[in-house]
Every structure is written in structure tokens, then in C-alpha cells.
A and B are shown apart, each in its own frame.
Chain A
Amino acid sequence: MNGLFSLVPLIVILPFVGVLINAFFGRRLMPRRDGVAPGVIASIFSGAAFVIALLMFIALLGHREGAEVPFLTWINIEGAGLSLNIPWTFRVDTLSSVMMLVVTGVGTLIHIYAIGYMHGDIDEQIAKRGLQGDEALDFKRRRYSRFFTYFNLFLGSMLILVTGNNYLMMFVGWELVGLCSFLLIGFWFDDPTQEAGDASTAKGWLNSNAAKKAFVVNRVGDFGMLIAIFLIFWTFGTLEFDAVFSQAEALGPAAQVALGPLTFSLGAVVTVITLFLLLGATGKSAQIPLFVWLPDAMAGPTPVSALIHAATMVTAGIYMIARSNVLYAMAPVSATVVAIIGAATAFVAATMAVAQYDIKKVLAYSTISQLGFMIAAVGLGGYIAGIFHLATHAFFKALLFLGSGSVIHGMEHGHHAVAHGAEHGEHDHDEHSHPFDPQDMRQMGGLKDRMPVTTWVYIIGALALAGIPPLAGFWSKDEILADASGTNNLVYILLTVAAFFTAFYMARQVFMVFFGKPRTEAAAHAHESPPVMTVPLVILAVLSVIGGAMNLPIEGLHFLGEWLEESILHAHIGQFEPTTALLATALAVIGIVLGWLLYGREPSEEAERDPLMAAGPVFTFLNRRWYWDEAYAAVFVKPYNRFARFLADTIDWRFWHDFVHDSIIYEAFLAWSQILSRPIDLGMIDGAVNGIAEFIGGISQRLRRAQTGYVRNYALAVLLGAVVILGYIVVRFLM
């Protein structure tokens, strides 16, 4: 066996070492407010993990079949009729290697970017709280090291997810990344910004609610994941990928399996398993019906959105389905459901993105939409296309998110510059009708002259996302569309329309943010971000341009396809279809031109006017995200709250507290103690004691008469006593 493979545990251990260092020493390593040690440490361990991922890649070049590296015995239960043996074994194959490279590579770049970004983000919070001196330093140390602790924890968890050789390890990673997602979405759970006097509008409150929402919605998906894992174990008696898949392949869909007293065909059981797996994927990868958490997850700092909610964690569902390709191949019904859910999500989310104003929300819906593309691809059996899009999307969506972070950073600096100027009376501080929001695209505009690097990399990312050749997004999206065009027309049409909307909303965003004239003073005074932020952006931009080269649809250049065929049994290499590519590119160009016509040609100078508002109710419908949250609120949340209120008010308070406790238990106790106290205690016990006392008292009252105090009486008594005794003796003597 290739010795390099045995290094794979390090890829998980290294980030966790970073976690420990930052958790215990992070604050001490940061003596000053501009210290960067926690971020540098986190980036070093992330980079070290990337080096390990590269070593795995090199090892795989020689041994494409990969290797399984046992690390620990984890769960080992042997008993009568039961044998549960789940090792902690790492699986290095071409699929997990792709995931490792993407996660650690993009992850490292985002770590480096966050070194700079989090300084600005935390300073912003310090300013909001009005902290000074040591307090500000302490706050910054805590939050800076905490952020990178979570970030490394996420990286390690994600690597557990992709390197496990069984479903349970995958599930451990699955839950850990969910935890990190929760922690990082709610990172500013104590953001004090609020509208005057109304604590319910406090941003911290909204942030922690967003974190809770992500966690709770993911629980629904995790429930499906768990049921699927239980069913897999029940059916196959193991959770290891190789064993499960080889058994499934050997048995075939017609085989009969006994689950408890019932017998099913393996095909039916696998269909159920794969549908539950899909439920898990819809939670983690934000698909219909569980996508609602992802837009709210933008409450987290921007590097979090880039790393977790765009590039890596949300692709876990696609990885999981690709990993389970053998099962999906056996269950055509599930595969079709997967494809339709993916395509529907791609379309729905793309339309929602069109009508958003928050720069990060647009990207969030875009992410949901692109995840829909990937899910649709793996549903159609285009596993290579799905993973290919996963990789390129990680590049350009991380780029876009980090670019938006750079824009937000610049806007906040501009805002501060203006606020300072206003204090000195140098500028007219124009009265906004809205409070300053550094993420609102309506308050931006004209940033291209102030933030040139950000602008150009952002445009590259947007073009890649829109699918303009020869950028990375074109090749991967086209492979998905090509896979769909021959197999499922509904999916194909939905995806093509979604691709058109994608181009349009990205054009809208780019024109609104970077072109035209600044619509606020903050935008007019924005400035470029520091190199620690722009260098990762440039690297990601380069990757977004050349990323397509890893899987060109030309004979002999299908590097990724041939690579993944080693580990994905049912992979097929995509074909290039000129008509599909031409149509998609034409639609993308039309979308961009339309965006230019509406937003670029006559750039709006007012903050409020949006040409799309002409669409009236349709715009509102899209702006409110199809009323999806409202529908969930009406169907699930409100009935649930009402039910909870019923349980609390009626069952718990009125029935349990008022009736059972107050009426039954309390009254019964009272009645019982009345019986005990009055008749029993006062009547019987006190009666007996008092009775004895009175009896003795009465006798004594009578007996005291004997004590007359007259000496002669006593003398008489003595005499009588003597007489009695003598009499007794005499009588005894005589008888």
C-alpha cells in the first residue's frame, strides 16, 4: 500500500489542533488590537490540511483505486444475533480527494481572507457598543480567536464528513458542520443594533433566530438522514460504503429482504432509503422544501457565508448522493424525484434572487439555485457533472461572497468616513429615508471607481456564474444541461430558464452595485479592501476562469470524469451538445443584456426606484420569496405555536396546574390533613393525652384532701396504719 495514504488522518487532526490552540491560547496570542495570530494559526492549519489533500491527490495518481486507512476501532458490539462493527476508518478515493481539495483549498483562501475581514467586522461591533481601551481589546481578542476556533472546527468536521468510509462517520461530520453553521450564523448573537426602544428588532436577536432556524430546519433533514442510516443498517447489516454497495449490486433490485416480519423487494427498500437520504440532502443542501434556512443564514459574517453556506457545507448533500450512487441507480423513482426537486429549486430560487436588494441575499438565493443544478445533475445520474459544478461553484461562489464581503467592508468604511466628516461639518449629510445598511444594493452604485480589484473579480465571478464561455461555470453548467436535455425534458426546461434568470440577476446586481453613480455618501466614500482580502479574491478569480479546464468536454481532456469514474460506479462522462451550449449561452447573454438595459443603460440615481417594480404584484411575489416563509409560518409555525400555547396554557397551566395540582392534589391534601388534624390529632391523640391528664388531675384534686396539714391527722393515720399492720400480723398469727 502506498505509504502516503496513511497520512490521511492528519487531514482531520490538523484542523482540530488549530481548534485547540485557538480555543485555549487564542486570546493570549493576541496582545494588541491589530494582532492577527489566531487567524494566521487557523490559516496555517487549514493550509496544512490542504497540503495533506494534495499529498492524497499525488498518492491517488499512482493508485487510483484509493485506500481505506483504519484509524480507530470506534463502535464494536458483538452479541447473539447482533454484530455492530463501525470502525473510524478514512477512505481516500478519487471522490473524497476532490472534496478534500475543494474544502481545504477554498477553505484556506477564505481563512486568509477572514484574517482581514474579521478585523473590520469586530471593529464595527466595538464601535456599535462604544467599547474603549482594555474593554475593546478584550472583546476583540475573544471574538477574533473564537471566530477562528469555529472556522477550524468547521473545516475538521467537513473533512470528517467527506473522508469517512461509512454512513455513521458521514453523519458525525454532517452534524458537526451543522453545529458550526449554527455557531457561526449566530456569531453576532449579541449585536446591539436596534430600532429605538424596540428590543424585538435587535439585530442580535434576529441573528440568533436565524441560527436557530438553520438548526431546526436542518433537524428535519437530519431526521431523514438518520432514518435512512437505520434502514441501511437493517437491510445490509453494515454501514460501510463498500460493503453496502457491493451487497446491493450483488443482490439486485429483485432480491427479497426481510425487515422484521415483513418482506420487501430490495428495490422498494432502497427507494425508501434513498428518499430519506434525499430528505437529509434537502436540509443540508437547502433544497425545496427545506431551503428556507439558507437566506437567513446570511446573518453570519461574510466569510462564513462563503465557506459554509456557499462552497462547502451545503454541498454535503450532493457529495452524499454521489457517494450513494449505487443505491440511486437501483431506485429510478428516487433518482427522478431528486432531479425534479433539484430543478424546481434551481428555478424557484433563481426567480427569488431577481427581486432581492440585500447583496448577500441575492447570492444566497443564487447558491440555492446552483445547488439545485447540482442536485438535479446527480438525480439524472450525471454524478460527474454534479461534482464538477460543485467544484467550480465553490470557486466562483466563494469569490462572489468574498467580493460582496469586500463591498460591505468598503461601504462600512465609507459610512464611517462620512460620519466623521459630518461631525466636522465638512459634508452635507444627506438625510436617508432608510437607516444605513451596508448590504443594501440600493444604497450602493458606482463602486467600480473606488474598488477596482473587487469590481473586476466580482465581474469575473458573475460571468462564471452566468455561464459565459470559457469561464468555469459555463463548462460545468453546460455539462448538467447536456445531461438533462436527453433524459428529462421537464428538468431541462426548468434548468434552462433558471440559467437565464441567473444571468439576469447577476447582471442586475453588478450594475446596481458597481456601475452608475453612488446613491449614498457611504458608497461615494467607499475604498478598496486590504491585500489580505483582495489576494484570495484574485486567486479565486483565476480559479473561476480556468476551473473549467479540469473537465473539458473534449476526448482526452475529461480529467475529472476519468478521475471520478474510479470511485463513482455509475458515473458517465458527459458529452458536449452544441445546441444546448449555444442555447444556454444565448439565454445568458440575453439575460445580461436585459440586465444592462434595465439597470446599466440608465443607472438609477434614486435609491428607491427599481425598473422591475413595474411588474407590480409579480415583483412583490418574488421579493417576498414566493411567500414561502409566510406559508411555512401559516402551515407549520403558527399551528405549532398555537399548539404549544394550547399545551402551555390549557394543558399545563389550566389542566395540570390549576386542576390537577390546585384542585386535586392540593385540595385532596388539604382535606386529608383536615381529617388528620381535626378528628385524629385534635380528637383522638390530644383527647387521649388530655383525658389522661384530666383523669389524673381529677383524682389528685380528690386525693389532696388527705393532706390536711394538721399534725394530729397524720398521727391518726400513722396509728391506723400501725393498727392495720398489727392487725394483719395478729390475724396471720392466729390463723
Chain B
Amino acid sequence: MLNETNFLVPTSYYVILSALLFTLGVIGVLVRRNAILVFMSIELMLNSANLAFVAFARAFTDLAGQVSVFFVITVAAAEVAIGLALIVAIFRTKHSIDIDELHEMRG
């Protein structure tokens, strides 16, 4: 059984790390122009969320958080498959994966 009292590392540490990782992901998404790096930043954000899930799951001794993480990992895997396929397709047409080159939708 998991117990609050025998935690070596407090839950808040995990949450702060998760927030830091998420922030790094956000900054990566916002500042990076390389599609691969943006993609990796998104993965970082997803995994930071996963970290928060498992941290709270342990803290509240509730397995629902763990289950959610599996779902997220599954979705992320699918996303990676589609996302990389898109990036390959974009590269084939544009010969570049700079996402700022993709602004045909400008109003």
C-alpha cells in the first residue's frame, strides 16, 4: 500500500518539476521554428502532464491517474505517427520544415 508518510520525495517537488517541464515545452513550441523541435516540445508538455498525473495518483493513492497516463501515452504514440507523417509530407512539398514557411492561411 502506498502511504503519504513513507514518501522520500514530497509530491510538491514532482508538481514543480512537471510545471517546469511544461513551461519548457510551451517555450519550445512558441519560440522554435523547426517542426521536429516543436513536436518534441509538445511531447515534453505531454510527459510533464503525465508526470503530474502519476504524482497525484501516488499522493491520493488513486490509480485513475495512472490509467490516464496510459491513455495519454497511447494518444501521444498515435500523434507521433501522424505528426511525423505530416512533417515528412510538408518537407516533400516545401523542402523545409520551418513552420513559419507555412502561412498560406494568413487572413
- Report the nearest A residue to B104, measured CB to CB: A709
- Name the contact of A704 in the complex, choosing from B99, B104, B107 (C-beta under 8 A): B107
- Asked if A734 is at the interface of the complex by the 8 Å CB criterion, the answer is no
A712 touches B30 (CB 8 A): yes
- Asked if A708 is at the interface of the complex by the 8 Å CB criterion, the answer is yes
A199 to B42, CA, bound (A): 108
B30 touches A719 (CB 8 A): yes
B105 touches A707 (CB 8 A): yes
Main secondary structure, interface of A, reads: helix
- Asked if B103 is at the interface of the complex by the 8 Å CB criterion, the answer is yes
- Name the contact of A710 in the complex, choosing from B26, B31, B100 (C-beta under 8 A): B100
User: How many residues of A sit at the interface, in one of the four size bands?
Assistant: 10 to 19
How far is the CB of B98 from the nearest CB of chain A, in Å?
11
How far is the CB of B18 from the nearest CB of chain A, in Å?
15
A708 touches B29 (CB 8 A): no
The listed residue with most B CB atoms (<10 A of its CB), out of A704, A706, A712, A716, is A712
A715 touches B29 (CB 8 A): yes
A709 to B30, CA, bound (A): 14
- Asked if A72 is at the interface of the complex by the 8 Å CB criterion, the answer is no
A70 to B105, CA, bound (A): 105
Query: Known contacts A716-B30, A719-B26, A719-B30: does B107 contact A711 (CB below 8 Å)?
Result: no
Query: Known contacts A705-B107, A706-B107: does B102 contact A711 (CB below 8 Å)?
Result: yes
- Report the nearest B residue to A723, measured CB to CB: B26
B29 touches A712 (CB 8 A): yes
- Asked if B106 is at the interface of the complex by the 8 Å CB criterion, the answer is yes
**Which residues of A lie under 8 Å from residue B29 when comparing CB positions?**
712, 715
- Report the nearest A residue to B42, measured CB to CB: A715
A709 touches B99 (CB 8 A): no
Task: Scan A693-719; emit 1 where CB is below 8 A from any B CB, else 0.
Answer: 000000000011111111110011001
B100 touches A707 (CB 8 A): no
**Which residues of A lie under 8 Å from residue B33 when comparing CB positions?**
712
- Name the contact of A715 in the complex, choosing from B30, B105, B106 (C-beta under 8 A): B30
B26 touches A709 (CB 8 A): no
A710 to B30, CA, bound (A): 11
Task: Scan B52-83; emit 1 where CB is below 8 A from any A CB, else 0.
Answer: 00000000000000000000000000000000
- Report the nearest B residue to A714, measured CB to CB: B105
**Which residues of A lie under 8 Å from residue B30 when comparing CB positions?**
712, 715-716, 719
A708 to B106, CA, bound (A): 4
Task: Scan B18-47; emit 1 where CB is below 8 A from any A CB, else 0.
Answer: 000000001001110100001000000000
The listed residue with most A CB atoms (<10 A of its CB), out of B38, B100, B107, is B107
- Name the contact of A707 in the complex, choosing from B26, B99, B102, B107 (C-beta under 8 A): B107
A277 to B100, CA, bound (A): 116
**Which residues of A lie under 8 Å from residue B99 when comparing CB positions?**
710-712
**Which residues of B lie under 8 Å from residue A707 when comparing CB positions?**
105-107
- Report the nearest A residue to B102, measured CB to CB: A711
How far is the CB of A387 from the nearest CB of chain B, in Å?
114
- Report the nearest B residue to A703, measured CB to CB: B107
A703 to B103, CA, bound (A): 17
B26 touches A708 (CB 8 A): no
Task: Scan A483-501; emit 1 where CB is below 8 A from any B CB, else 0.
Answer: 0000000000000000000
**Which residues of B lie under 8 Å from residue A705 when comparing CB positions?**
107
**Which residues of A lie under 8 Å from residue B103 when comparing CB positions?**
708-710
Q: Apart from A711-B100, A712-B100, what are 5 other A-B pairs with CB-CB below 8 Å? A: A703-B107, A709-B102, A709-B105, A712-B29, A719-B30
Q: Which 4 A-B pairs have the closest CB atoms?
A: A707-B107, A709-B106, A709-B103, A704-B107
Binding site for A on B (CB under 8 A): 26, 29-31, 33, 38, 99-100, 102-107
Binding site for B on A (CB under 8 A): 703-712, 715-716, 719
28 contacts across the A-B interface (CB closer than 8 A): A704-B107, A707-B105, A707-B106, A707-B107, A708-B103, A708-B106, A708-B107, A709-B102, A709-B103, A709-B104, A709-B105, A709-B106, A709-B107, A710-B99, A710-B100, A710-B103, A711-B38, A711-B100, A711-B102, A712-B29, A712-B30, A712-B31, A712-B33, A712-B38, A715-B29, A715-B30, A716-B30, A719-B26
